[in-house]
Structure 1
Amino acid sequence: MESQVTNFPVSAPLGLWGMGLAFFQWMALVSLEGISTDRIFIGIKLMKKYLLVFFIILLSGCADPLPEDRLDYVGEWRSNEMGLLILADGSVSYKRLKGGATTSLSGPLKRFEGDDFVVGVLFMTTTFDVTEPPHEIGGAWKMTVDGVRLTRVSE
């Protein structure tokens, strides 16, 4: 009699509970007698995907709040080609249209290097080149990031 093993549910909840559930499902898959090596390989591949997603979600929540002297960076910044959202909790969301292609990024703000800031997780980081830090001109806040002049949207 051949055992029937179902794949992991795609909609399994993420987080520790979901990862634990996926791990026990994988262990059940491996412990079945007469299981083919193809099925074990599929289980291992799925487990790797779950672990990768889990660690990205876990690490993306590792943003530190912005220091008091950098709170001028907080806000929604826009131009015709770029949007940048920096929250006081250290979360950053970025979207840019350049040459017909869209680039977007969301992640924790890791650190400041002078006026520049670094966003990302582990070794996957991006440095935003700030040539003009946030400053007020005639009641409007301006900042130049990666060569693009941005204006902070009123709250």
Structure 2
Amino acid sequence: MTPLFLRRAGAAILGLEVAYLLLMQLSMAVFMVDTSEIDHTESAGSGALLFLGAEAAAVLVLLWAAALLALPSFADKGPTWARVAGLGLATAVQVLGAWSATANALAQDAGPDVVINGVMVLFAVIASAACLLGLRGEFRRTELTATA
């Protein structure tokens, strides 16, 4: 697998993950009914806001990393520390996603959920490898500019 193909595939997977997150939020907002008044409980309040904030931060990190991987013109913009932080955080998100999907697959009986979790692990491994490849390029670029 060539590095350019891996970077583009990783960027595409990161874009698909962002689309999935946004589609899930949209479907939950449209189709879920708030039953807090019927159940005599308080609405979610600050917990829901914290979750939405964390999800928005994850979307921004994934989009940033996808742009760094896919667009050579974008890869030179911004400070090096921001590019390294974005790719590092995206790698961490992918590793945690692969770990979670693996744990979920091992906890279930054989069936379609195991296959879906297997595909999720495969995509997360490809995306994390692409992010690591991007990090390697950032560190090499830093070494070249430091020695020049």
TM-score by length of 1: 0.32
**Which is richer in strand?**
1
* Higher relative contact order structure (alpha carbons within 8 Å, sequence separation ≥ 6): 2
Query: Larger C-alpha radius of gyration, 1 or 2?
Result: 1
TM-score by length of 2: 0.33
**Which is richer in helix?**
2
